[in-house]
Amino acid sequence: QKEVEQNSGPLSVPEGAIASLNCTYSDRGSQSFFWYRQYSGKSPELIMSIYSNGDKEDGRFTAQLNKASQYVSLLIRDSQPSDSATYLCAVNRPPSNTGKLIFGQGTTLQVKP
């Protein structure tokens, strides 16, 4: 079992729709969860972090965390063609003070005009 799992996609949505990206993780000791966006040929950029169960909203983005189910998701509302990228889920590797992150393989999102 991979430590962090994502569906590689591609996930294709029409412009203006909601894109839903999912991620599961294996280590129940993980406490910090991140979503990064990576454009082709570029390095990842942080979109959101989430540490508590529930939802966290930032503009068009909403992160959702369910520690009991070991599941974290990212919703992108009003998807734009510029959102087309690979979205990486990252989870801290316990213990929490090491700063080490484990990344999923990423989900490729295609937003079609």
Partner 1 sequence: GAVVSQHPSRVICKSGTSVKIECRSLDFQATTMFWYRQFPKQSLMLMATSNEGSKATYEQGVEKDKFLINHASLTLSTLTVTSAHPEDSSFYICSARPPNSNQETQYFGPGTRLLVL
Q: Give 65 or 88: the residue with its C-beta nearer to partner 1.
A: 88
Return the number of other C-beta atoms located less than 10 Å from residue 54's C-beta: 9
Report, in Å, the least distance between residue 22 CB and partner 1: 15
Q: What distances in angstroms separate CA 96 from CA 78, 90, 100, one per listed residue?
A: 34, 13, 8
In contact, 23 and 103? CB cutoff 8 Å: no
Binder of partner 1 out of 7, 20, 105, 110 (CB under 8 A): 105
Q: For residue 113, give the nearest of 77, 82, 75, 90 by alpha carbon.
A: 82
Size, binding site for partner 1 by CB under 8 A: 22
The most distant pair of C-alpha atoms in the chain lies apart, rounded to whole Å, by: 43
Q: Which residues within the stretch 63-102 sit at the binding site for partner 1 (CB under 8 A)?
A: 88, 92, 96-102
Q: Which residues within the stretch 22-61 sit at the binding site for partner 1 (CB under 8 A)?
A: 32, 34, 36, 42-46, 49
Binding site for partner 1 (CB under 8 A): 32, 34, 36, 42-46, 49, 88, 92, 96-106
